[in-house]
Amino acid sequence: LAKTTQPISMDSYEGQEVNITCSHNNIATNDYITWYQQFPSQGPRFIIQGYKTKVTNEVASLFIPADRKSSTLSLPRVSLSDTAVYYCLVGMYSGGGADGLTFGKGTHLIIQP
């Protein structure tokens, strides 16, 4: 059973705000939610991490509702360089080994001019 579910792909345009939602119905009490970005031929890059409510950094915002069964990564005013695969992870390594750390296929975000 997949630990997280996110859309396979999304399209948007430069200057728009993009929201990518991830479902994680079985999130555990101690689990954090982490988002990574991956460009072709590169390793994943940490974007943001949160536990509840809202977290914001210079790159993105992360919205987590009270029940924590989903989360939304928000990218403000995207540019062409934001075209990448975005992964949502729950728990990172919490002793779950392979189950806890499989990234899944992520969301392919394509930004058009």
Partner 1 sequence: NAGVMQNPRHLVRRRGQEARLRCSPMKGHSHVYWYRQLPEEGLKFMVYLQKENIIDESGMPKERFSAEFPKEGPSILRIQQVVRGDSAAYFCASSPRAPGTGGQETQYFGPGTRLLVL
Interacting residues with partner 1 (CB under 8 A): 30-32, 34, 36, 41-46, 49, 87, 91-95, 97-98, 100-106
92: left (phi over 0), alpha (psi -120 to 50) or beta: left
Query: Least Å distance between CB 15 and partner 1?
Result: 29
How far is Cα 91 from Cα 73, in angstroms, rounded to an integer?
Answer: 16
Query: Least Å distance between CB 14 and partner 1?
Result: 26
Query: Least Å distance between CB 82 and partner 1?
Result: 18
Nearer to partner 1, 95 or 113 (CB): 95
Nearer to partner 1, 41 or 81 (CB): 41
Residues 74 and 109 sit within 8 Å (Cβ to Cβ): no
